[in-house]
Amino acid sequence: MEKDALGMRHIGKRSILAGIFTFMLALWLLFAYGFSSRADEPLNPEEVEIYCASEKSVSALGEIPEDKLLSFQISTEGLSGTPGFQVISGHAYVRVSSAGLVEPNKTVWYWKGNQGWSVPVDGYDRITTEYYPGTAVVRVTCGDYTQDIQVTVVEIGDSYVNQKVQEVYDSCVEGTTTDLEKYTAFTKWIGNNTIYDYRYQSWQDMLLFEKGDCWASTNLIIKLSQMAGIDARVNYTYQSTGYNPGHRNAIAKIDGKYYIGEAGYGTYTKPRGASVYELPGGWNTKKINEEELAFVGYSGFDEELIVPENWDGKRVTQFGDGETNMMYNGSAVSIILPKTVTAIHKYAFYSSKKLKSVYIPASVTSFYPETWIAGCITDVYYEGSEAMWKAIEGVDSLDLGSDVKIHYNRVHASNENYLPFNDVKHYSSSGSETWYFASVRFAYMNGLVSGYDDADADGLVSFKPNSTIKRGEFMVILYRMAGSPDVDLSDNPFSDVGDKFDTKAILWAYRNGIVSGMGDGSFGRKSELTRAQAARILKSYAEYMQQDTSQTADLSAFLDHSSLREGQADPHWALPYMKWAVGAGIISGMEEKDGAGNVVGYKLSQGGKTTRAQICRMLMAFMELYP
């Protein structure tokens, strides 16, 4: 730093030159790296298609047309510096060079006989190239400039067949009005325009070469059907008799019916033939005799498969025949067998990849070996008891696996013996029908009784058949029997009847002379109902309904009849009601056993408590007498 004659400081010439040089260098760097690498608009299109061709496509269509790009060169025009290129997604589909050339990714295979390597091997006899159509994203960067380019690799054969399938579809649906007409047209187009060749198995192959096997024809029918919104799937003829096990055709559900589309005939000239026919219910059947048949395959689409008892005028007594795979790759998640089935055959559930549960009726008497080769069944619901299950012929040979749970005394909701109760068993441990099952089911089906609000994991609730029924609960049952008429809730004479579930029923019964109170101002809604009270109330209800109640019976055969003699003190009031109930078949005796367990007689037990199961039995007898 220097001072002049006036004492002012100034910068020397050398310092000035150095400052100018520094400023110019900074300015150049700014333009070179801060501005020159930037671009106001993308230098390349946002989306690009490039093409590849497999040997198969070249053999069918020839070389790729000149208007189809085989690669794409990323432009860096206007950018300064060194740009970078990177595939940021879809690495399997494309590759990009350091110069920005994007090409389809590929693998070159070197073959020696039927074995191939991705590197050259001594003695290889042919070379093939495998491409991977798909979409990738390539990023170009330069300084703070970035652009992402979506690159889609299209196989020229795929491009051709996508156009071709639309042309075929349009030609088939022209002039049709129904889905069945379209489905038939798709099937017949294949029969008229292609020949059989086992080397081609996809619908794309069939359109490329106008050749294909049954797999190719099936796949093309399904493809065209899907374009028309028709639910069509593969029908594996492992489930059908009279077919080669490796054969397949198409099946479609149209207007609730199943139709087979068959265009896989092995002819090497055009037309190869085609046919469409209905497969009723999706079932393949085999006649056993004039009255019975077996279901040997299911090709339908139901996930919950309720097997019918009768088909084509015959009883369905066998599931499977030991020769066909009943449910091969089927859609069923649950199978419910009917009470007519007596035998379940080998392969009945073989290869059922979705099947989780099977409902088996008590009518089944035999299993055949290898019935349970399924691998995915987790629950077996059996209608009978455990003892009945173990008595089935062949059950010891079943390999159910540790993950399969057997539920006894269980049926599906579609079964006529269904009950939503987990404590009402159809069969006892000995295999005999429990005395209360039919009556509980009768009362439930007629809307008279229900279970408790305690659903288990399977959605079943308890009924508590051995619990004593309360007077209020019984009024609710009678009220339901009467059709649940409207009730005026005013003028309530009972101290224990308020805003409860049984209030309407109690007031209705009281006002119609069916019941009375306990004499202390209460109704006794929570009091346990005795057998004599049940008889009196039912007789009063029958009279309210203007029914004949003249039935009577001699009670002298009952061990406790002396307690009901005329003129005796309470409970002599019960005598006429018990005579009526026994004479009408509403009440029968209770077994009396000696110390050895032998039945020595019967008691009326008129003062005994009435269980929920017993009241159901009384109700069934009552409603059968007074329908």
> What is the model's pLDDT at position 242?
57
Share in percent of the chain as helix, strand, coil (round to 5) = 25, 25, 50
Say if residue 4's pLDDT is above 80. Answer: no
Cα 266 → chain centroid: 36
Residue 24: band (very low, low, confident or very high) from pLDDT cuts 50, 70, 90: low
Percentage of residues of the chain with pLDDT beyond 70? 90
> What is the model's pLDDT at position 582?
95
pLDDT tens-digit map of 118-174 = 999 999 998 889 999 999 999 999 988 999 999 999 999 999 999 999 999 999 999
Say if residue 214's pLDDT is above 80. Answer: yes
pLDDT tens-digit map of 496-513 = 898 889 999 999 999 999
Say if residue 15's pLDDT is above 60. Answer: no
Q: Which of 211-220, 587-596, 604-613 has the lowest mean pLDDT?
A: 587-596
Letter string b/e over residues 54-90, b meaning 16 or more CB atoms within 10 A of that residue's CB: bebbeebbeebeeeeeebbebebeebbeebebebeeb
Say if residue 16's pLDDT is above 90. Answer: no
Letter string b/e over residues 7-22, b meaning 16 or more CB atoms within 10 A of that residue's CB: eeeeeeeeeeeeeeee
> What is the model's pLDDT at position 245?
65
pLDDT tens-digit map of 82-95 = 999 999 999 999 99
d(CA 431, CA 409) in angstroms, rounded, equals 10
> What is the model's pLDDT at position 384?
94
256: left (phi over 0), alpha (psi -120 to 50) or beta: left
pTM (2 decimals)?
0.76
Q: Is 255 helix (H, G, I), strand (E, B) or coil?
A: coil
Q: Which of 94-98, 399-403, 524-528, 614-618 has the lowest mean pLDDT?
A: 399-403
Say if residue 484's pLDDT is above 60. Answer: yes
Query: Do 51 and 70 contact (CB within 8 A), yes or no?
Result: yes
Say if residue 7's pLDDT is above 70. Answer: no
Query: Do 578 and 400 contact (CB within 8 A), yes or no?
Result: no
Q: What is the mean pLDDT of residues 334-346?
A: 93
Q: What is the mean pLDDT of residues 521-535?
A: 93
| Structure-token pair, residue 452 | 């408790």
* H/E stretch holding 534: helix 531-544
Edge-to-edge strand ranges of the sheet holding 275-278: 231-236, 248-254, 257-262, 275-278
d(CA 446, CA 621) in angstroms, rounded, equals 13
Residue 40: band (very low, low, confident or very high) from pLDDT cuts 50, 70, 90: low
| Structure-token pair, residue 528 | 């346990």
pLDDT tens-digit map of 222-264 = 999 999 999 999 988 765 655 666 788 999 999 999 999 999 8
Look over the chain and give the mean of its residue pLDDT values, rounded to a whole number: 88
> What is the model's pLDDT at position 39?
53
Say if residue 566's pLDDT is above 70. Answer: no
> What is the model's pLDDT at position 34?
44
Distance (Å) of CA 377 to CA 334, 350, 371, 398, 625: 9, 11, 12, 13, 46
d(CA 285, CA 55) in angstroms, rounded, equals 45
Between β-strands 101-104 and 357-360, what pairing exists: parallel, antiparallel or unpaired?
A: unpaired
